[in-house]
Every structure is written in structure tokens, then in C-alpha cells.
Amino acid sequence: MSGPTQVFIVCSPRAHTGKTLVARLIAEFYQSIHRPPACFDLEQIDPALTEFLPLATERAAIGETRGQVALFDRLVVADQKPKIVDLSPHALEKFFTVAYDIGFDHEARERGVSAVVMYVAGEQPLVQTTYGILRDKLPGLIFVPVYNDAVARSPELRKLFPANPNSPTPIEIPQLSSSLRRIIDQRPFSFLEFLKDPPLRMARSTRAEMESFVRRVFRQLHEMELSLLMSQLNQSLEAQLNAAAKRAGGK
């Protein structure tokens, strides 16, 4: 059996929710386990992901069919390379409309690609409504709510963003102190580079905070990776059992 291929679509219908931060963390997590990802930046005005991860990211536009072909045709390739889409709020509706029209969720499943929507939760009604619509229209996608403590921390929020029964556990992004926040927002900051070679003048406590932040997020992403792998194995096993039952029935 070939290895898994995951596609992460990081999105929110609202700006300034930490969406690009989530995309960066996922990208660097895969870099840390020696599975370099391909990232796609759909932000037209401020392509932050491209500036943070210039070697791993290419800019994409889906306004025209040519751009849709360039992006979606790569997203469904089961090449074992993780793919991360940083989806700007402006491109969200178009992206999911195209995905719905062309049957992206179905095709991804058929090809053994786990397509995961990393949905940054928020308290605004628009964010909740959009989540419901997407889950309803694209049931073949895996939805993982992301709770970014810097943006919304209400415990009540958890109830408003239900995950699919077999989906990975929601991801929590802990809040960083403002000094660290300033550091990670400087382009092209890299979490892995920081951990490998922390600034000498930095206070120990600040370094410890960063290490703890990255460890905590990466642990969750690692669990998500395992959960996706398990569900893919289950699907594959189920398909084999069904095929065997069909063959036995045909005899």
C-alpha cells in the first residue's frame, strides 16, 4: 500500500483569525518530520505564507479556470506529499464552489487523498454559518475546527463547531505573549529555525515559552496525522472487505 497523502485547506471567512499562522505551523510540522509540504497561497493582497515559507510556497489564483486546473489538479494527486492551502477569506466562496462543482471531496476520497478543512473557529455568526454550510455541502471532506486562543477562547465555542464523528480532535493554538507574537510575525520567521538556533540574547523563559508552544501544537498535529492515517487504513480495509464479499457473492 502506498503512503497517505493529505491536503489541508486552512480557512476562515473572516480576516485576522491566525489562519496563516496555522498554515505555517502545519507546514513546519511536516518539515520537522522530513515530509516537506507543497504550500499554496491564495491570499492576493498580502501573501504572507509566501513570505514566511518562500521555498515551499507558490501563489495560486482560482478566479479563472486555468488557475483552478493548476491548483485542484495538483491537490488530488496521491503523491504522498502533504499539501497546504492558505485560503484567504476573499477566495473562500470561490474555492468551495469550485470544489463542490467538480466533486473535489469525492475525487480526493477515490484517490486515497485525505482532504482536511482546518477551519479557524470564531464567535461571529458568519463564521458559524459558513462552517455549517461547508459541512453540509461537502460531506466527503474532513473538518477539523481550530481554536486559536489569541482570537477566541470562549469554552462555549466548542459546541458551535462540531467535528465529524471520525474526524481528528480539534486543534488548539495557545496564546503567545506579545513579545513572542511580535517575533513570530516578522517575515520570514521560522519556528524550526528558532528552535534549532535560538537568539542568544533571548531570556530563557521566553525561549521556553516558544518551545512549549511549538511542542504543544506539533503534538496535536502529530495526533491528527495518526488519526488520519488510521481512518485511511480503516477505509482501505473496508474497501478490501467489501470487494472480497462481492467476489464471494458472485461465485
Q: What is the contact surface with another protein in residues (CB under 8 A)?
A: 65-66, 68-69, 72-73, 76, 98, 101-104, 107
> b vs e for 106-123, b when ≥16 Cβ sit within 10 Å of the residue's Cβ?
ebbbeebbbbbbbbbbbe
**Cβ proximity to another protein, 66 vs 181, nearer residue:** 66
Nearest distance in Å: CB 60, another protein: 13
Nearest distance in Å: CB 111, another protein: 9
**Cβ proximity to another protein, 102 vs 152, nearer residue:** 102
**Cβ atoms within 10 Å of 217's Cβ, excluding its own:** 21
Nearest distance in Å: CB 138, another protein: 13
Cell readout for 1 is 500500500
- Ramachandran sector of residue 5 (left: φ over 0; alpha: ψ -120 to 50; beta: rest): beta
**Cβ proximity to another protein, 108 vs 146, nearer residue:** 108
- What burial class does residue 226 get, using C-beta atoms within 10 Å of its C-beta: 0-12 exposed, 13-18 middle, 19+ buried? exposed
**Cβ proximity to another protein, 25 vs 76, nearer residue:** 76
Nearest distance in Å: CB 241, another protein: 22
**Contact status, residue 9 vs residue 95, Cβ threshold 8 Å:** yes
Nearest distance in Å: CB 72, another protein: 5
**Contact status, residue 67 vs residue 61, Cβ threshold 8 Å:** yes
**Cβ proximity to another protein, 98 vs 195, nearer residue:** 98
Instruction: Give the neighbor-by-neighbor strand order of the sheet with 5-11.
Output: 57-59, 38-41, 83-86, 5-11, 113-120, 142-148, 171-173
**Cβ proximity to another protein, 112 vs 162, nearer residue:** 112
Nearest distance in Å: CB 68, another protein: 5
- What burial class does residue 198 get, using C-beta atoms within 10 Å of its C-beta: 0-12 exposed, 13-18 middle, 19+ buried? middle
